[in-house]
Chains A and B, each alone.
Chain A
Amino acid sequence: MTRALVIAAHPVPDSYNQALHARTVETLQARGWDVDDCDLYAEGFNPVLSEAERRGYHDEPDNIAPVADYVERVRAADALVMVFPVWNFGYPAMLKGFLDRVFLPGVSFRLEEGKVKPNLTKIRRLAAVTTYGGTRVRAMLVGDPPRKCVTRAVWHVCRPRSMKYLALYDMNRATDAKRGQFLTDVGDQLRTL
């Protein structure tokens, strides 16, 4: 059975982003997948990489000790879906800190002669579900960093055979109809991830 790790990062339970999170989990469960639903805010994840973690960063395998439970959940995953709002053209600190603390050498990548080699190749399917306040053009003008972080950096450590970046731009002006359509689209797209 496919095991999916869903990582969500929005603080407001009744937000639109949390509706996308719920739709994501429902859709994957309806496919018969085993879904590990990881809501970083609800779990009270601490995203700050500490001095001790930085000093022990390259000391495998002890470097995973502070976040061992999360490392285990990542390692168990065949699919990874991240659901988050884009803030300041980047990941929320909560999600950035998760990647900083959990995507360690020996977990998501191996350093070979100073180069990053993929180490999460068990993950065969990768998706992001996200919302931007600004328009696609504004995001492009600053290089759309979160799109690249997912489709290049996270993609590189997983090398999935299927990847989808599902983004709703221009949330500041989105209508109910547009938001509703995107919810439907997310369900449709994740059914074929």
Chain B
Amino acid sequence: MMRALIIFCHPKQDSFNAAVLNAVTAHLDAAQVEYRLRDLYRTNFMPVLTEHELDCYLDESCNADPVAQDVADVQ
């Protein structure tokens, strides 16, 4: 079954972008598509790649740890 991941990124909930998001989710609901919605602003996603993250960037045993939930969502 098709599963969609929606990454939403706008600080205003009453923005045009939010209206577009509503249209997308309404469409997916109508089509009975399973989806996850990740609202980067509302969940206070930290976009700054840190020194620690870069140090372990190539180490696949632990490089996903700081963003484990996001990686699970993508996968």
Contacts and interface: CB of A to CB of B under 8 A. Distances in A.
A41 B50 CA distance: 9
Contacts of B53: 11
Interface on chain B toward A: helix, strand, loop, or mixed SS?
Answer: loop
Which of B15, B41, B49 gathers the greatest number of chain A CB atoms within 10 Å? B49
Contact of A51 (B41, B50, B51, B55): B41
A55 B12 contact: yes
Contacts of A54: 10-12, 15
A93 B55 contact: no
A189 interface: no
Interface on chain A toward B: helix, strand, loop, or mixed SS?
Answer: loop
A94 B48 contact: yes
A13 B55 CA distance: 11
Given A11-B54, A12-B54, A12-B55, A47 B47 contact: yes
Interface string A118-156: 000000000000000000000000000000000000000
Interface in B1-56: 10-12, 15, 41, 47-51, 53-55
B48 to A, nearest CB: 6
A48 interface: yes
Interface in A101-121: none
A87 B49 CA distance: 10
Interface of B: 10-12, 15, 41, 47-51, 53-55
Please give me the 3 A-B residue pairs with the lowest Cβ-Cβ distance, nearest first.
Answer: A93-B47, A51-B11, A11-B51
